[in-house]
Amino acid sequence: MSETPANRAERLRTELNRHNYLYYVKATPEISDREFDARLKELADLEKAHPELVTPDSPTQRVGSELLGEFATHPHRLPMLSMDNTYSEADLREFDARVKKLLEGRSYRYVVELKIDGTAISLWYEDGRFVRGLTRGDGKVGEDITANLRTVRQIPLAIPVAGSARNPQPATRNQSVPPVLEVRGECYFSRRQFGRINEEREAAGLALFANPRNAAAGSLKQLDPKEVAKRNLGAFIYALGHTEGYAPAEHQQVMRDLAAWGFHVEPHWEVCADIDAVWAYAEKWAEKRKGLDYDTDGLVVKVDSLAQREALGTTAKIPRWAIAYKYQPEQAETKLLAVEVQVGMTGVLSPVGKVEPVHLSGTTVRSVTLHNQDEIDRKDIRIGDVVVLEKAGEIIPQVVRVVTGKRSGREQKFRLPEECPVCKSPARRAEGEVAVRCTNSGCPARLRARLLHFSGRAQMDIEGLGPALVDGLLEAKLIGDVADLYAIKLEQIAGLERQGQKSAENAVAAIAKSKGAGLARLLAGLGIPGVGTAAAEALAGHFGDLDRLMAASAEQIEEVEDMGPVTSAAAAEYFRNAANREVLEKLRRAGVDFRHHGAARQEHPGFAGKTFVVTGTLQKYKRNEIEALIKSLGGKVSGSVSKKTDFVVAGEEAGSKLEKARSLGVKVLSEGDFEALRGGETA
């Protein structure tokens, strides 16, 4: 008997939810992306033909098309408490002494977890279906961000209901899902996604997020779920809220059940027999945590027995049975010598602090981002100040505070200029934006930034076309737009000051070679607001060649997976603009390839089909650059090391991923080995 549409839809939903779980939670996919997409499309087609078959837990419903007006509020059934923070071993032991006293000599255990640096969420399930997601709000009332949380692939839309055969999780499980289940956890950005999103914001001239936590909180407050979907947020679940029909005795049981039901649970939690074991855990993870792909700012110590928690109770705001121990982030003090104003591709004026060189978390820091005028004012940062630096997401150095006690009185306040430092046109701050922009679209600083971006490794990858050569070309008035690069003659470069014949030859060859980079890299290189490497790849894959994309409306662009309305409109506008079209026509005449080649084009035998994990700080590449390079050579990039990983590329300060690679016998490449592999030698 052939399947009815209803049965088929049901089966596809279950299968897709399971594969979603295997991919996003377990990181052990069983089918290819292509197969997944084919089944998703089949389900979407079925639902289109039979709209009555759409269910809220259908994987097609992760991104609804509705724009939210504003967020409704919803009370928390149980208050969402906060926690006491401690910073020392002594404080931790004091907490333990209080617990011991209150429990009057009864024995107790702790569960210790890594503290995820994200933003707290509450998820409500009825009969195993996700029905509501809230922010913490003020702890009593949260904001309803259900539509946004649906887009988070690590959040299951459906978990198996009691006694159901529709279990997405093949592992054994002894606890059925309660009919009413509220879980709590943390929405977060992986370091990789955080880097990517800031890269895209930079391209769009938007203020950068200072750290993954702000980025996660900010993203969940977006009114457009499609924009949220683009950001690839993650979610770890670590606690119960209100439940009915579930009475576990211990938190360790809760953690196991949560994982068995398909929630994403941070795997490094441990049961500790006493506070000494807790402290040993804290010491073990002080360094190790730096190798994780997400930010952890400490640990959370929780009494294991739920009955004992009940007995210990809570104060007005915080439970007596839990405490957060925070690691002191590595910091360095240095002096702010000057503030330079850089003008970006879209004319945004960015204040960059020049500091006395100082060593911090593995690198020497010479300049720090000061974000924007609001941030400078908020922290009251003045030139000449002694400042404390920290790395956001272990990557971007920034000022956390000023040591005001060390002021001499000669420090100077800083204000972004009211005119562009390069072209002297007025600089303005648009309504509702933090960024101040140069109003001259022909500003030479924009052109300089555009050229450098165009030639970057993750874009057209033109080796040798760095700041020195770009400045030389601009001074000699040899280029007015990116397309002019392709008309430059060898003699013109060789004739510039400080350019030798050999380097000129290399530059000309690199420029010529970039004509074949393909549509994805070209799109990433154009500097279309919001279109970074990921969006560029999606657009190239969807449209196949530039002419089709140029002819598309904003609505048609929005049909591309993960393209939100803002970026889609910006892209459509970019291609409607006459000046941009002229540059593109020049690129075409110069022979730049407008077609998409897919991943296979530049396939490199050392990379094709191989899975890479990149960890630690590299000298030559930014994280997104090396990842784009690996993909362009036919390799795959993953965030975590497993037996299926072929290579781990380890830079400075590589942590637990490197350890894991060694323990699994996965081949580890230094940056030099990587270059050698790329160059064709076998590693």
Cite the active site residues.
Answer: 115
| Per-residue DSSP letter, 291 | G
Residue among 301 and 557 whose Cβ is closer to ligand IVH: 301
Q: Which of 13, 18, 115, 657 binds ligand IVH (CB under 6 A)?
A: 115
Contacting range for ligand IVH; rule: CB under 6 A; set: 109-117, 457-465, 645-653, 663-671: 109-117
Smallest gap, in angstroms, from Cβ of residue 85 to ligand IVH?
Answer: 6
Smallest gap, in angstroms, from Cβ of residue 319 to ligand IVH?
Answer: 5
User: Residue 124 and residue 131: Cα distance in Å, rounded?
Assistant: 6
Question: Does 120 participate in binding ligand IVH (rule CB under 6 A)?
Answer: yes
Total number of residues shown for the chain: 683
Task: Report 554-613 residues binding ligand IVH (CB under 6 A).
Answer: none
> Is 434 in contact with 420 (CB distance < 8 Å)?
no
Report the DSSP pairing between strands 296-303 and 110-116: antiparallel
Residue nearest to ligand IVH (CB): 120
Contacting range for ligand IVH; rule: CB under 6 A; set: 59-67, 110-118, 250-258, 273-281: 110-118
Distance, CA of 480 to chain centre = 34
Smallest gap, in angstroms, from Cβ of residue 17 to ligand IVH?
Answer: 25
Contacting range for ligand IVH; rule: CB under 6 A; set: 21-29, 115-123, 333-341, 476-484: 115-123
Residue among 25 and 81 whose Cβ is closer to ligand IVH: 81
Question: Does 213 participate in binding ligand IVH (rule CB under 6 A)?
Answer: no
Instruction: Retrieve residue 280's tokens.
Output: 């040993």
User: What 3-state class would DSSP assign to 124?
Assistant: strand
Q: Which of 183, 322, 465, 493 binds ligand IVH (CB under 6 A)?
A: 322
Residue among 59 and 241 whose Cβ is closer to ligand IVH: 241
Residue among 114 and 392 whose Cβ is closer to ligand IVH: 114
Q: Which of 79, 179, 319, 544 binds ligand IVH (CB under 6 A)?
A: 319
User: Residue 394 and residue 623: Cα distance in Å, rounded?
Assistant: 12
Question: Does 116 participate in binding ligand IVH (rule CB under 6 A)?
Answer: yes
- Largest separation between any pair of C-alpha atoms in the chain: 87
In angstroms, the Cα distances linking 554 to 44, 312, 565 are 22, 57, 8
Residue among 322 and 341 whose Cβ is closer to ligand IVH: 322
SS (H, E, C) 209-269: CCCHHHHHHHHHCCCCHHHHHHCCCEEEEEEEEEEECCCCCEHHHHHHHHHHCCCCCCCCC
User: Residue 349 and residue 596: Cα distance in Å, rounded?
Assistant: 34
Task: Report 26-65 residues binding ligand IVH (CB under 6 A).
Answer: none
User: What 3-state class would DSSP assign to 78?
Assistant: coil
Q: Which of 83, 306, 512, 676 binds ligand IVH (CB under 6 A)?
A: 83
Contacting range for ligand IVH; rule: CB under 6 A; set: 23-31, 318-326, 465-473, 511-519: 318-326
Q: Which of 177, 215, 239, 566 binds ligand IVH (CB under 6 A)?
A: 239
User: What 3-state class would DSSP assign to 352?
Assistant: strand
DSSP H helices in 289-418? 306-312, 373-379
| Total interface residues for ligand IVH by CB under 6 A | 14
> Is 404 in contact with 372 (CB distance < 8 Å)?
no
Compute the radius of gyration of the chain from its Cα atoms: 27
Question: Does 81 participate in binding ligand IVH (rule CB under 6 A)?
Answer: yes
Closest CA to 186 of 256, 120, 136: 120
Residue among 113 and 537 whose Cβ is closer to ligand IVH: 113
Residue among 58 and 122 whose Cβ is closer to ligand IVH: 122
Q: Which of 7, 82, 404, 577 binds ligand IVH (CB under 6 A)?
A: 82
The residues that bridge with 234 in the sheet, in sequence order, are: 188
Smallest gap, in angstroms, from Cβ of residue 109 to ligand IVH?
Answer: 16
Residues in Cβ contact with 347 at an 8 Å cutoff, skipping those fewer than 6 apart: 205, 420, 437, 438, 439, 440, 441, 443, 445, 446
CB atoms within 10 A of CB 162: 13
Q: Which of 324, 451, 584, 661 binds ligand IVH (CB under 6 A)?
A: 324
Binding site for ligand IVH (CB under 6 A): 81-83, 113, 115-116, 120, 186, 238-239, 300, 319, 322, 324
